[in-house]
Structure 1
Amino acid sequence: MANLGGTFDASQVEPSKPQEALPPGEYRVQIINSEMRVTKAGTGQYLWLEMDVLDGVHAGRKVYEQLNLVNPNQQAVEISQRALSAICHALGRMQVQDSEELHFKPMLIKVAVDKSGYNKIKGYKAVSRPMAAPPPPPPPPQQTYQQPTAPQQQSPAPQQQSPAPQQGYQPPAPTASGAGPWNSIRQ
């Protein structure tokens, strides 16, 4: 028995409705949670992945995957390893030690609906990035016709100014005798 801490009035809360499976198609998703779990039989482990749909009318919906990475059935392990490899390729992570390395990176999944009405992921691929459009070609040079005009007198060219004096004092170079101008005055 569990005390609810008061009376719960179900007439004041909209009841939850069963969620239908996602329609078959491609969805952009990201893994938001993952963990290794023990199989029902207790003889193996699977990687459980929770994914969020990122776009469209189904944004925010959840999709789940279970990959039997430790199992006595070697075929189940091989299928799961190929699926994990497809996820790694889609996310550009070729070597992974922890499943958290795959979180919050977008990828595309192909979803189908199985006979029991549940979603089944049929494939993974990288999100294609739209290629940048090449820059437009430069416009052709415009040629304009100018009517010839009478030659005008040219103004005289400006006179060149002498270079600005250098800043700071620079003593003159010593003469051949070694005496500079200041040394020539003796008392």
Structure 2
Amino acid sequence: MASFGQTFDASAIEPSNYEVFPPAKYPAQIVNSEMRATKDGMGQYLYLELDILEGPYAGRRLFDRLNLINGNADAVLIAQRTLSSICRAVGKLQVSNSEQLHLIPLIADVRIRPPKGQYGESNSIRYLPRTGTTSGAPTFAQAAPAPAARPAAVAPPQTPAANGMPWKRQA
């Protein structure tokens, strides 16, 4: 038993809110990180806490885990790819300490992961770069590449009667 030294009044404090975030792209930053042991003690994961910076969820936290040391090679590869996405989103391609990723704005692209086993639905996060905002909407550092220019196709000559009537074109 642990004594609080005074009476705690739960009615005066809002309870923790662990509701799943709705899918959206949230401006965020990593504010805390640490390596933790996995439940089985055979590996380690990078635990991340992110603060939402803007919008109706400003001040709320997102959490993520990256299985960087694990017996499952697929889990490690997924974690390494996610860490690479984070590094690219914050503009630091070589890091030796997770604190180098702290307090640099990025976009947390939040999605909902369906229920699995005994666990309810949860959030999954993809990390994207943030270069600023325009009227509240995030803008991204890298737009999709423009399609390669193709040479214009040469149209076959048309007879005057076929102009405006493609079904009467002569092949």
TM-score (norm 2): 0.70
Which has the larger share of strand?
2
Give the equivalent residue in structure 1 for 2:3. Answer: 3
Secondary structure of the equivalent of 1:127?
coil
Moved over 4 A (4+): none
Partners of 2:56 and 2:133 in 1: how far apart? 22
SS in 2 for 1:51: strand
**In structure 2, what is the equivalent of residue 26 of structure 1?**
25
Aligned-pair identity (%): 47
- Give runs of aligned pairs for residues 90-105 of structure 1, distance below 5 A: 90-105=89-104
> How far does residue 22 in structure 1 lie from its aligned partner after superposition?
1.1
Distance in 1 between residues matched to 2:41 and 2:16, nearest whole Å: 33
d(CA) in 2 for partners of 1:104, 1:87: 12
Structure 2 CA distance for aligned equivalents of residues 89 and 79 of structure 1 = 15
Aligned to 1:145: none
CA distance in 1, matches of 2:27, 2:129: 9
One-letter identity of the residue aligned with 2:72 = N
Counterpart in 1 of 2:123? 119
Pairs within 5 Å for 1:86-165: 86-115=85-114, 116-121=120-125, 123-129=126-132
Is residue 2:70 matched to residue 1:71?
yes
Separation in 1 of the partners of 2:40 and 2:18? 28
SS in 1 for 2:34: strand
For 2:30, what is the secondary structure of its paired residue?
strand
Partner in structure 2 of residue 49 of structure 1: 48
Give the number of the structure whose alpha-carbon radius of gyration is greater.
Answer: 1
Alpha-carbon spacing, 1:47–1:57, altered in 2? closer, same or farther (3 Å)? same
Q: CA deviation at 1:113?
A: 1.6
Show structure 2 runs of 5+ residues with no match. 115-119, 135-171
